[in-house]
Structure 1
Amino acid sequence: MFIWLEALTAKQALLMSYLYESLTRQNLDVVITTRQYDYIIGIFKNRNIPFIIVGKYGGETLKEKLQQSLQRQIRLLDIAIKHKPDIHISFVSPDSTRVAFGLGIPTILLTDTPHSTYVNKLTIPLANCVIAPLCTKESWEKYGYKGDVFRFFKGVFEVAWTAKFKPNKSELEQLDLEEYNYIILRTEEKKASYYSSYASRYSEPTFTVKLLDYIIEKLKMNIVFFPRYKEQRDYVSSRYGEKVIIPKESLFLQHLEYYAYSVITGGSTLAVESALLGTPSITLFPRKLETVSWLKSLNFPIFQITDPFNSFQDITRLLRKAEEYRKNTSKTLKNLEDPIPLIVKEVLNLSNIHG
């Protein structure tokens, strides 16, 4: 049996790399498609996972996004015809889901974002199975998604690679860092559709400039900066020079997260990962996230501030007290469900139904 996986972000690359290993242990053939974006390629290379690059990130405008999507679909069609996959799995990728549906390939979708209205409309109705964290169930129902197609698990997707994590200080040594004496800062996904209304509020490539100034001038800590786009990298590099560390290559980031004083991100994945590992983390994602609220209720050290412009003092207060929030989360983490076994189970179920 041949399985086709698609990964469009760093988080998805990590998840699909672990899923790849589980599926190949079942003696299944697997191909992974991805795109040229962010730290995806480095993640696959670091983990020795084979992949095929198809296209790149769509850009800022609707026209650019649509053009890139259509071009990717044509190339994905050729790949799917060549490999003849029996089942397709993606993290709600509109491109690969559309191609799989058009070719009659059964599809499993993974998702933890009920709020992604446009993407969900393009993907969820085409799925044979949708796997999501149980904490998002109520939100899915509010958006009108119900039925037997959903499978829920008592965890978050990040458990797949944090549950068995063992920290190593070698990544710190590469960057000449000392434990608990640096902050990881990840920018917002400014070009994403869900950020459009917020992006108009500032002209800089990233809103994290004020935070960078505060950390450098007030906290006197090292900063490891992870941009999402070239414009963000160039802007911060030009403004701060050697005051900010910007890794040129993909790292085993979880090791850096574990030993960080704190982690701040404009998205959610780094915050969730870090909190699962016990590191105080802050997400500045502009909408309330079910996964973050749920982890917070379980006493993981994670905080969400949806408006960094009007709540800057809340961010600095959390940063000043970050060390007080650090926790040993190993016991709590063991109680969370790893989604990989459920995904593999659904693959086998689908193969029996459609085989």
Structure 2
Amino acid sequence: MRVIITIQHPAHVHFFRHTIRALQAAEHDVHVLTRERPMALLLLDHYGIEYDVLTGPFDSPVKMVVGQLRYEYNVFKAVRRLDPDVITAIGEPAIAHSSTLFDVESVLFTDTEHATLGNALAFPFARRVYTPDCYEDDIGSKQVRYPGYHELAYLHPNRFEPDPSVLSDVGLDPADRFVVLRLVDWNAAHDVGDSGFEDVADVVESLEDTGVRVFITAEGGVPEAVEDHRLPVEPHRVHHLLYYADLFIGESATMATESAVLGTPGIFVSTSRRGYTNELEERYGLVFNFSGQDRQTQAVTRGISILDDYDQETWDDRRERMLADKIDTTQFIIGRITEAADRRDRVERSSRDRAARS
């Protein structure tokens, strides 16, 4: 089969990379289309995934609108040229629109309820919308829920084995305690109007008072006072560092979840919430969400409490309970793409049969 996969965010590279390898190993034809996002391109290059860049970066609302229109037009051209059996993406309106325009099977994944604009543009045109079972919105009859998280497409034990050499990469000994802190730039369409920390330097100082080291990973700039805390590790090795961390705290729901599924407690600080981080808190006690006006103070207080009473066995037990309930998401992705291709094949054979009879 011929498959088009579109990438809009670095996390999407991780979500699809094992699927891409499996499809290619089975001699299927996979085409990856992406926007010009430096970190996503860096990861695609690292994993040896070939791709076509369809549009440049945009850093303002006007450029975002123009860029999206250009991107959609280029996706249309690619679908018309490649004539795929299936097109798939995470929350991407362009593939839903292309599937309708060219009568192609689309496989749309999403886990972000508050991506309201993208969802409104994509859902009416999608053939199927696949969501984790903790997704809090009801999309209707085209929604298919599954027991998993996006992050289990690449961090499930079937897919990930931690590499302890990452510790020496950042100057740590196995006995050293440390925290990973994540800052986002709030430029994504679904992040507009959201915010997280108010004083990053204060967060770092408060956590380090417990005796841990704090490493910062950021999409954009870092306050000068904590610039020396930037994480000195290659992006594709961050998950290994998260596995060995004592705590994650940050403005990224994705990284909070990545930490949780690796058995590291995660603290998510943002004015918005997610169904999956809510479930990881309420059902498994692996993530703690803080979204109110005093979110920074509450988050730091919880972080200090976790560090003061740290017990790795507790987090491992919670992780195992979660994994017992969830699936290897990559297997689910591959299954849905194959299922969609089979549907298209059945429709085409039926159409040929009718034409032959007439």
Name the TM tier (shorter chain): 0.7 to 0.9
Change (3 A) 1:36 1:89: same
Q: Distance in 1 between matches of 2:122 and 2:171?
A: 44
Distance 1:189 1:104 in 2: 37
- Which residue in the other structure is 2:264 paired with? 279
Which residue of structure 2 aligns with residue 318 of structure 1?
Answer: 302
* Mapping of residues 79-118 of structure 1, within 5 Å: 79-118=78-117
5 Å matches for 1:20-35?
Answer: 20-35=20-35
Give 3-state SS (helix, strand or coil) of 1:313's partner: helix
> 2:150 is paired with a residue of what secondary structure?
coil
1:34-183 correspondence to structure 2 within 5 Å: 34-37=34-37, 39-61=39-61, 63-136=62-135, 139-141=136-138, 145-147=139-141, 149-164=142-157, 165-179=160-174, 181-183=177-179
SS in 2 for 1:252: helix
Larger Rg: 2
Two-structure CA RMSD over aligned residues (Å): 2.5
Q: Could you tell me which amino acid in structure 1 is paired with residue 164 of structure 2? A: K
For 1:170 and 1:14, how far apart are their aligned partners in 2? 21
Q: Aligned partners of 1:280, 1:65: CA distance in 2, in Å?
A: 35
Q: Kindly provide the CA deviation profile for residues 154-177 of structure 1, in whole angstroms up to 9, marking residues without a partner as x.
A: 121111212222211122222212
**Given residue 215 of structure 1, which amino acid in structure 2 is its aligned partner?**
L
TM-score, structure 1 length as denominator?
A: 0.85
Q: Is the 8 A contact 1:171 1:251 kept in 2?
A: no
1:39/1:104 CA distance change after superposition, 3 Å:
same
Where 1:155 maps in the other structure, the secondary structure is: coil
- Indicate how the Cα distance of structure 1 residues 225 and 101 shifts in structure 2: closer, same or farther if over 3 A, else same: farther
Q: Deviations over 1:265-319 (max 9, x none)?
A: 2121111111111111101132232111222233242111113x51333222222
1:240-279 correspondence runs (5 A): 240-242=226-228, 244-247=229-232, 249-279=234-264
Instruction: Provide structure 2 residue ranges, at least 5 long, that are not aligned to the other structure.
Output: 346-358
CA contact (8 A) 2:90 2:110 kept: yes
In the other structure, the counterpart of 2:180 is 184
SS at match of 1:39: helix
1:43-80 deviation digits (Å, cap 9, x = unpaired): 2233232222222443232x111111122223333333
Specify the code of the residue in structure 2 equivalent to 1:240: V
The number of equivalent residue pairs is 336
Cα distance in 2 between the residues matched to 1:112 and 1:15: 12
State the alpha-carbon separation in 1 of the partners of residues 37 and 341 from structure 2.
32
Question: Which residue of structure 2 aligns with residue 224 of structure 1?
Answer: 215
Partner Cα separation in structure 1 for residue 303 and residue 215 of structure 2: 15
**Secondary structure in structure 2 of the residue aligned to 1:140:** coil
Query: What residue identity is the alignment partner of 1:152?
Result: R
Determine if contact 1:195/1:286 at 8 Å carries over to the other structure. no
Q: Secondary structure at the match of 1:108?
A: strand
Give 1:17 shift.
0.6
Match of 1:297 among 282, 293, 310: 282
Distance 1:38 1:220 in 2: 34
77-86 or 272-281, which moves further after superposition? 77-86
Opposite residue 146 of structure 1, the aligned amino acid is: G
CA distance in 1, matches of 2:38, 2:183: 11
Partner AA of 1:212 in structure 2: V
Give 3-state SS (helix, strand or coil) of 2:193's partner. helix
Identical-pair percentage: 17
Asked if structure 2 preserves the Cα contact closer than 8 Å seen for 1:42 and 1:249, the reply is no
- What is the DSSP-based 3-state SS (H/G/I as helix, E as strand, rest coil) of the residue aligned with 1:162? coil
Residues 1:194 and 1:76: Cα distance change in structure 2 (over 3 Å): closer
Q: 1:214 is aligned with what amino acid?
A: S
Matching residue's letter, 1:140: D
After superposition, the Cα gap between the structure-2 partners of 1:226 and 1:53, relative to the gap in structure 1 and judged at 3 Å, is farther
Q: CA 1:221–1:56 in 2, change beyond 3 Å: closer, same or farther? A: farther
Query: 1:27 aligns to what SS in structure 2?
Result: coil
CA contact (8 A) 2:284 2:321 kept: no
Gaps of 5+ in 1: none
Query: Which one is further off, 246-255 or 108-117?
Result: 246-255
Matched residue, 2:328: 338
